[in-house]
Amino acid sequence: MGWNNILLEKENGIAILTINRSDVLNALDAETLQEIGMAMDQLDNDYEVRVVIVTGAGNKAFVAGADILFMQKLRPLEAKKFSRLGQTVFSKIENLSKPVIAAVNGFALGGGCELAMACDIRIASENAKLGQPEVSLGINAGFGATQRLTRLVNPGIAKEMLFTADMYSAEAARRIGLVNHVVPSAELMKFCMNMAKRIAACGPIAVQLTKEAINDGLEMDLEKGFIHEADIFGVAFSTEDRDEGFSSYLDKRKPEFKGR
């Protein structure tokens, strides 16, 4: 399918989705969000794809936020619809049946930081800058930050970031736990690809079940979370991947997981 605002490449089980509006630092308008949503639906059903990497075109920005020119024209109910669109699309990423790595290659502001937060793992280049500047524009974050940031970092830190509109360096974002690693800009994609390859070499159903157990568990009390984990553990034992994983270990060879 032809895309106007994104690029989608696939190679050896790894898909790279690039937000491709570099003239506006990859800002998100409704069409771009819809394309990200459609791409996620496609990737969810593509059994060849085991890991997804999300990044921004160019070397200056991951995504510099929701598109301010687009938002300037919105009436209140249209703004609510735009917020719901962003939330729905980002939830598709969070609930995708495979891991999503954000390769944060520059500014990740507002909706860009929220997009990164919806991914499972965030890797930042040294030049990345992350923040939620919405209040400096007289609006609040509307694509999930008031909910996801408090779950990712401690609530006091999240409130400071959301109230002050401060931009955080990649290293400061790593210190608060918002990004996992900071790497030189030239090595960002290589680092993310290497991580994606290590994940892709593991049992895809096991990885999917692990993502489900973690995401669902965050919404449960600990005891219910343990029961859920045990249920999922049982499901893993019904797969051919489990047979392959165990026999390859015993045969001292590399497993060839089929995702069945």
Binding site for ligand COA (CB under 6 A): 24-25, 27, 64-69, 107, 109-110, 133-134, 137
Please indicate whether residue 35 is annotated as part of the active site: no
Give the nearer residue to ligand COA in terms of CB position, either 13 or 65: 65
Give the nearer residue to ligand COA in terms of CB position, either 172 or 202: 172
Q: Which residue is nearest to ligand COA (CB)?
A: 65
Q: Which of 134, 187, 212, 229 is catalytic?
A: 134
What are the φ/ψ torsions at residue 254 (nearest 5 degrees)? Answer: -75, 135
Please indicate whether residue 160 is annotated as part of the active site: no
Residue among 187, 183, 176, 136 at smallest CA distance from 152: 176
Give the list of residues 6+ apart from residue 157 with CB closer than 8 angstroms, or none: 176
How far apart are CB 200 and ligand COA at their closest, in Å?
Answer: 33
Give the nearer residue to ligand COA in terms of CB position, either 105 or 239: 105
How far apart are CB 131 and ligand COA at their closest, in Å?
Answer: 8
Q: Which of 35, 78, 114, 160 is catalytic?
A: 114
How far apart are CB 115 and ligand COA at their closest, in Å?
Answer: 12
Give the nearer residue to ligand COA in terms of CB position, either 31 or 44: 31
DSSP character string of the chain: ---SSEEEEEETTEEEEEE--GGGTT-B-HHHHHHHHHHHHHHHT-TT--EEEEEESSSSEEE--B-HHHHHT--HHHHHHHHHHHHHHHHHHHT-SS-EEEEE-SEEETHHHHHHHHSSEEEEETT-EEE--GGGGTS---SSHHHHHHHHS-HHHHHHHHHH-PEEEHHHHHHTTS-SEEE-GGGHHHHHHHHHHHHHTS-HHHHHHHHHHHHHHTTS-HHHHHHHHHHHHHHHTTSHHHHHHHHHHHHTS-------
C-alpha 9/C-alpha 200 separation (Å) is: 16
Give the nearer residue to ligand COA in terms of CB position, either 137 or 235: 137
**Active site members:** 114, 134
